[in-house]
């Protein structure tokens, strides 16, 4: 199986692609941003196809909310929300590259059987240890994300002695564990987990030093779209964070971040295209 971060069907990227955009498809009734506007099979599929039309390179389907304070969901209910949309995409857009945002082993296995190419896991296989076995068996693309605690309690009182050092050590440790278990390193992308068990100060410390994670030589996926960092920094409500998200996306690309997970794919591609056009030298490498 090819590493999914650069090579797949549909809108497959090449090593010369200047950036990659992952479109968020929330299938939950309690999303912090869209409030469940795309919950339900028809609405979810319609939105996913719309993001493909906007130019999404990858679609990230999420059926369990990971917003701060969100309650856990059983895999059966997660799959009830997820599979109709995944099946619909296989029928309507067979070349689409699909990521599934889950930490459940059963959900991941079912999604990969139905053609998903990537597992986007907020837990680093910590919430359901069986997920590691699924990753080793199927060898999909995998997003290794840092989080301090589960969503229902991660923002209660996050603390670090040195957030940059601790996130760096987390990636070192977990990359070694995943590759030793049998997941190829070139299938792994890194996500520092902005807003997952971190205060505004923690988030800004990480965002101001992307070189920390780029040093691993793996693609970095930035999930910053519409997040509370813009509320804390600029006093913006979720519905007002579009321009800030676009600006931050372009700035982070200029610092070497290749992949961007966003709600508004068209706006992100515009910002990234401008950043690439204005770059004085060659585009940042994957």
| SS3 at position 93 | coil
Tokens of 241: 């964070």
Q: Is 198 a catalytic residue?
A: no
Q: Is 261 a catalytic residue?
A: yes
Q: Which of 140, 215, 132, 141 is nearest to 174 (CA)?
A: 132
Residue 273 to residue 225: CA distance in whole angstroms: 17
The CA angle 232-210-18, to the nearest 5 degrees, is 110
Percentages (nearest 5) of helix, strand, coil residues in the chain: 40, 15, 45
List 150, 198, 218, 261, catalytic entry: 261
Residue 255 to residue 181: CA distance in whole angstroms: 32
- Give the CA dihedral 91, 95, 101, 103, nearest 10 degrees: 90
Burial of residue 68, with CB atoms counted within 10 A of its CB: 0-12 exposed, 13-18 middle, 19 or more buried: middle
List 227, 241, 255, 269, catalytic entry: 227
Query: What's the order of all strands across the beta sheet hosting 221-222?
Result: 188-191, 141-145, 118-121, 98-101, 58-62, 20-26, 259-262, 221-222
Backbone angles phi, psi at 61, to 5 degrees: -90, 125
Residue 175 to residue 181: CA distance in whole angstroms: 10
User: Do residues 139 and 1 touch, judged by C-beta distance below 8 A?
Assistant: yes
Residues designated as active site: 227, 261
């Amino acid at each position: 199986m090819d590493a999914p971060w650069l090579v797949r069907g549909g809108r497959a990227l090449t090593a010369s692609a200047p950036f990659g955009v992952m479109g968020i498809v929330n299938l939950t009734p309690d999303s912090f941003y869209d409030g469940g506007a795309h919950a339900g099979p028809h609405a979810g599929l319609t939105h996913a196809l719309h993001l493909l039309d906007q130019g999404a390179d990858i679609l990230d389907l999420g059926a369990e909310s990971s917003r701060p304070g969100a309650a856990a969901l059983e895999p059966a209910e997660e799959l009830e929300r997820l599979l109709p949309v995944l099946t619909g995409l296989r029928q309507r857009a067979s070349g689409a590259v699909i990521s599934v945002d889950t930490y459940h082993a059963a959900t991941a296995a079912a999604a990969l059987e139905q053609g998903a190419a990537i597992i986007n896991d907020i837990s680093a296989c910590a919430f359901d240890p069986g997920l590691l076995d699924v990753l080793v068996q199927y060898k999909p693309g995998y997003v290794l994300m840092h989080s301090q605690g589960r969503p229902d309690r991660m923002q209660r009182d996050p603390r670090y002695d040195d957030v940059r050092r601790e996130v760096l050590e987390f990636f070192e440790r977990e990359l070694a564990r995943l590759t030793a278990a049998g997941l190829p390193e070139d299938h792994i992308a890194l996500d520092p987990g902005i807003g997952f068990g971190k205060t505004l100060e923690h988030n800004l410390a990480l965002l101001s030093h992307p070189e920390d994670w780029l040093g691993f030589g793996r693609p970095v996926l930035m999930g910053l779209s519409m997040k509370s960092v813009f509320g804390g920094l600029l006093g913006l409500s979720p519905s007002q964070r579009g321009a800030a998200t676009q600006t931050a996306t372009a700035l982070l690309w200029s610092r070497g971040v290749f992949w961007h997970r966003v709600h508004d794919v068209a706006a992100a591609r515009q910002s990234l295209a401008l950043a690439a056009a204005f770059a004085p030298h060659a585009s940042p490498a994957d």
